[in-house]
C-alpha cells in the first residue's frame, strides 16, 4: 500500500440504535451508546484515506489505522521502530499487562510499501468492545507507508478486513482478522460488517462501519447480494471464474472479489468481457484501477478535456467536471461466479465523484484535477488487476457477509430507508441470483506527484 499523508479517517457514529448483537462504535468522539451497538464512525480527510481508531493493550494505547478490505493483517508500529520511519505513536508492550510476546516474524508487502517486525498478542478495543488475544504485527521497520503529515489526521498502521486465507497463503497460521475474532468470541452474533464511506465532500467523521449488522438509514432501495470469488492456490494464484468455478478443490477466499462482467458509461462506452473479470473491493486504495486499454477507451467517451500524464500514469481532467452529476461510470457485477447474467448488479458512479484536486485539498479551489480511475499495467507474470477502490466504493453501501461469502450492495445515502436492521437476514434485499438493481450515488479522490501526501495507491497485500 502507498499511503497518503492526508488521511480520511473512518469514525463510527453513535446513533442510539439498540439492536442486539451489533457493534457500532464512535471513532473520534465519546457519544453515548448501547453496549450492544458496535458502530464506529469513519473520518473522511478529503476522500483520500479512511481510518478507524483502535486501542491496543491494557491500559489501552490508541492508534488511527487505515481501514483496508484489501488485506487481512492488523499491524501497528512498536517502540523498536525508529521515529524516522514510524513518526507517530508507537506501541510500548512493556506498558501493557495483557501483552503476550511471540517469536513469529512479521513481514508484509503491499502494492507499494512494506512493514516488518514480530507478532504479538494483546487486547484490541474499538469503542467499548474488546477482542482478547488478537494477533498483531508489531513493526520495527516500515517503508513508504507512514509518511510525515503536516496537517490533518495520519494513518499509523493497517486494520485489515480481508479473509483469513490471505494470511495463510503468506505462511502465517492462526492469524484471524479482527472481525472474525468478533464472531468467534461471540461479541457479535451476525457475521457481517457494513461500510458507509460517504461522499468525498463529507469531510470529518461522516462515515461508519457497523460490525454485526446493517444500517438501512445509509442506503436507498434494496440490498443486492453477489457472491465472493475464491482463488485456486498452487504455483499461481488464480480466481475461480467461469464454467469451472464450482469444481474448485484446493481453493480459498482471499480478497473481497466479485465477478465483473462489463464496464459502461452513460455517454456510450460499453465493453462486455468475453470472460468475467475479478473486481476486488478495496477500501485501502484511493483510486479505481482497470487495464490501461479499457481506461483509454472509457476516457475517450467521457466529456471534458481529459489528458494522460504518462509520468504519473494518471489522467488529468477539468476541475469543472466535479459539477457533472449526470455522467456516470458503471460497473456491472454478475450474481454468479460461473456465468454472466442478463440482469447484473450495476454500480453507477457519477463523474462528479471521480474528480480529485491535485493542487488543493478541495476541488472548489483547485486549478489542477485528476480522474479517480487509473490504468493498471500488466506485468510479465500477471494480468492487469481490477481494483474498485474508494473512488467507487464511496458510492455504495457495502455489506460484507463473512459467513456466506457474499457482498450486499445498494446506493449509498446519508438519508436512506430510515430503519436499522440488526442482521443480514432482516435487511431488505435480494438473495444472490435475484439481480438487476442499479446502484447510483457518489464519491471520489486522489493525487500523486504534486502532493504525495494525498494518495493511497494500492491497498492490496502481495503474498507471492
| 282 catalytic residue (yes or no) | yes
| 175 catalytic residue (yes or no) | no
Query: 122, 175, 282, 401: which is the annotated catalytic residue?
Result: 282
Q: Give the 3-state secondary structure of residue 351.
A: helix
**Cα separation of 292 and 366, whole Å?**
26
Pair 209, 42: CB distance under 8 Å: yes
Q: Where are the alpha helices (DSSP H) in 333-434?
A: 390-393
* Residue 272, all three cell numbers: 462486455
Q: Which residues pair with 75 in a beta bridge?
A: 137, 158
Cβ contacts of residue 380 below 8 Å, gap of 6+?
none
Nearest to 406 by CA among 183, 240, 192: 192
Q: Between β-strands 74-77 and 158-160, what pairing exists: parallel, antiparallel or unpaired?
A: antiparallel
Cβ contacts of residue 236 below 8 Å, gap of 6+?
none
Across 78-163, the runs of DSSP E, i.e. the strands, are 100-110, 114-126, 129-143, 158-160
Pair 120, 138: CB distance under 8 Å: yes
DSSP state of 446: -
| Cell 496537517, residue located | 151
* Residue 128, all three cell numbers: 467499548
Cβ contacts of residue 94 below 8 Å, gap of 6+?
none
Phi, psi of 49 (to 5 degrees): -165, 150
Query: 68, 122, 215, 324: which is the annotated catalytic residue?
Result: 68
DSSP string, 242-261: STTTTS-TTEE--S-EEEEE
Q: Where are the alpha helices (DSSP H) in 54-189?
A: 164-168, 178-184
DSSP string, 399-426: EEETTTTEEEEEEB-SS-SS-EESSSTT
**Cα separation of 188 and 21, whole Å?**
5
DSSP string, 289-321: EEEHHHHHHHHHHSSS-EEEETTTTEEEE-GGG
Active site residues: 68, 282
Amino acid at each position: 500500500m502507498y499511503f497518503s499523508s492526508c488521511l480520511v479517517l473512518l469514525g463510527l457514529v453513535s446513533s442510539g440504535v439498540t439492536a442486539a448483537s451489533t457493534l457500532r462504535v464512535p471513532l473520534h468522539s465519546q457519544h453515548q451508546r448501547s453496549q450492544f451497538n458496535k458502530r464506529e464512525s469513519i473520518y473522511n480527510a478529503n476522500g483520500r484515506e479512511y481510518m478507524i481508531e483502535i486501542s491496543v493493550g491494557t491500559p489501552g494505547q490508541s492508534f488511527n489505522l487505515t481501514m483496508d478490505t484489501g488485506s487481512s493483517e492488523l499491524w501497528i508500529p512498536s517502540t523498536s521502530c525508529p521515529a524516522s520511519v514510524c513518526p507517530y505513536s508507537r506501541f510500548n508492550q512493556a506498558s501493557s499487562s495483557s501483552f503476550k510476546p511471540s517469536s513469529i516474524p512479521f513481514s508484509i508487502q503491499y502494492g507499494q510499501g512494506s512493514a516488518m517486525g514480530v507478532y504479538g498478542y494483546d487486547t484490541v478495543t474499538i469503542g467499548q468492545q474488546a477482542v482478547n488475544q488478537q494477533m498483531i504485527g508489531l513493526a520495527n521497520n516500515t517503508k513508504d507507508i507512514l509518511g510525515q503529515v503536516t496537517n490533518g489526521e495520519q494513518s499509523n498502521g493497517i486494520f485489515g478486513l480481508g479473509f483469513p486465507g490471505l494470511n495463510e497463503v503468506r505462511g502465517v497460521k492462526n492469524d484471524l482478522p479482527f472481525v472474525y475474532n468478533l464472531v468467534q468470541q461471540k461479541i457479535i452474533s451476525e457475521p457481517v460488517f457494513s461500510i458507509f464511506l460517504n461522499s468525498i465532500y463529507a469531510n470529518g467523521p461522516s462515515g461508519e462501519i457497523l460490525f454485526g449488522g446493517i444500517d438501512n438509514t445509509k442506503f436507498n432501495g434494496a440490498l443486492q447480494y453477489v457472491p465472493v470469488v475464491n482463488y485456486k492456490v498452487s504455483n499461481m494464484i488464480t480466481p475461480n471464474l467461469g464454467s469451472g468455478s464450482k469444481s474448485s478443490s484446493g481453493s480459498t477466499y482471499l480478497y473481497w472479489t466479485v465477478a465483473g462482467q462489463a464496464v459502461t458509461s452513460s455517454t456510450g462506452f460499453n465493453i462486455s468481457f468475453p470472460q468475467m473479470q475479478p473486481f476486488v473491493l478495496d477500501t485501502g486504495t484511493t483510486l479505481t484501477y482497470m487495464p490501461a486499454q479499457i481506461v483509454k477507451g472509457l476516457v475517450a467517451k467521457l466529456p471534458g478535456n481529459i489528458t494522460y500524464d504518462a509520468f504519473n500514469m494518471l489522467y488529468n481532467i477539468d476541475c469543472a467536471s466535479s459539477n457533472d452529476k449526470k455522467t456516470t461510470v458503471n460497473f456491472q457485477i454478475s450474481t454468479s461466479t460461473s456465468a454472466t447474467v442478463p440482469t447484473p448488479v450495476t454500480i453507477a458512479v457519477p463523474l462528479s465523484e471521480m474528480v480529485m484536486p491535485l493542487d488543493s485539498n478541495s476541488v472548489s479551489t483547485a486549478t489542477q484535477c485528476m480522474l479517480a480511475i487509473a490504468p493498471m499495467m500488466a506485468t510479465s507474470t500477471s494480468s492487469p488487476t481490477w481494483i474498485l477502490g474508494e473512488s467507487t466504493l464511496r458510492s455504495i453501501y457495502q455489506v460484507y457477509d463473512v459467513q456466506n461469502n457474499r457482498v450486499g450492495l445498494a446506493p449509498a445515502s446519508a438519508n436512506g430507508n430510515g430503519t436499522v436492521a440488526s442482521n443480514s437476514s432482516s435487511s431488505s434485499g435480494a438473495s444472490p441470483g435475484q439481480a438487476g438493481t442499479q446502484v447510483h450515488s457518489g464519491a471520489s479522490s486522489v493525487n500523486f506527484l504534486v502532493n504525495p501526501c494525498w494518495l493511497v495507491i494500492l491497498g492490496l497485500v502481495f503474498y507471492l
